[in-house]
Amino acid sequence: MKTTTIPNTSLKISKICLGTMTFGEQNSESDAHEQLDNAVSRGINFIDTAEMYPIASRKETLGSTERFIGSWLKKHGKREDLVIATKIAGPNRGMDYIRQPLDFSAKSIKEAVDLSLKNLQTDYIDLYQMHWPERVMNMFGKRGLTEIDNNWKENFAEVLSVYDELIKAGKIRHIGVSNEAPWAVMKFISESEKHNLPRIATIQNPYSLLNRLFEVGLTEVCMRENIGLMAYSPLGFGILSGKHLNGTKPNSRIDLFPQFTRYTNENATKATKLYQELAHSHGLTLAQMALAFVQQQQFVMSTIIGATSLKQLKENIDSLEIVLSEEILKEIDAIQEMIPNPAP
């Protein structure tokens, strides 16, 4: 397993991170434990979760993912060998069944951290992330920003001060953001430098053959400021496995949760067909090419993979051994030029 270090930390992580949002919805506790056992046996030591998981989030299953990881951690016993990342849910998503208020106030952050520690059955969280911005933004299927959230007031220093307190208390070690934009990433950095507060080490945003929007603005920020990208949805909710081109499969996320439409529009389907033809012409599966593409990007710290079966998990991990040639990369860019970022 290839490894790297989370920027500005001593945390050595696998270049593949195990995503767990299916635990508790599509995967049972025993399934989750099997996946965790298999991933660790293959050299993965980086595990990502969130307080709102599993997906799709609902009151009946809320927190199951963290709890399944927690029961596995208790059984596994080698906590110090693993890097565990989780996230606090932000506001503006209508999830009134999560702890309230759903914001990044000191009260909310501390309550969320304590609940995650309890669910995970651990004394500390290696990487604690803000799942999405506190301010209202265009994301999850939208491009750019159309209006400013005037009801939100800047509180970067206040939020970082709470994390500083939690780091000093030993409850969390490092912090990161997710689904964030360049402006806020730079604000977090400037406020941390100005007030000698914890510095964000990572950003978790979507990045795939169907969504390369991260390359616009955020790549320079992250490379210059030494922030690691945890690329999520590298297979576009399974679309880039190619299995949906000839009809959906049972237990697939798109089939089970049709509300997630980011990767199912007409242009995304057209691009997926072209990428599949390209992969096959070079003796690769579409999933192998899609994952290898993400993993080869200089600005990608670790690629988050998720699976509902051990077979899928093995195939995804095996993709780390594939190196795409310059010829394939040029052909990928040609398709991107024809149908740029069809899944915002």
Catalytic residue IDs? 53
CB 156 within 8 A of CB 163: no
Rounded to whole angstroms, the Cα distance separating 176 from 188 reads: 10
Rounded to whole angstroms, the Cα distance separating 54 from 38 reads: 20
CB 101 within 8 A of CB 50: no
CB 304 within 8 A of CB 197: no
* Count of residues making up the chain: 344
CB 75 within 8 A of CB 101: no
Give phi and psi for 73, each to the nearest 5: -60, -40
Distances (CA, A) of 43 to 20, 39, 56, 264, 303: 16, 7, 28, 33, 14
SS3 152: coil
Neighbours of 30 (CB within 10 A): 9
List the one residue out of 120, 109, 239 whose CA is nearest residue 175.
109
Q: What is the dihedral of CA 184, 189, 190, 196, to 10 degrees?
A: 140
SS3 140: coil
CB 332 within 8 A of CB 291: no
Neighbours of 328 (CB within 10 A): 18
CB 235 within 8 A of CB 208: yes
Rounded to whole angstroms, the Cα distance separating 121 from 51 reads: 13
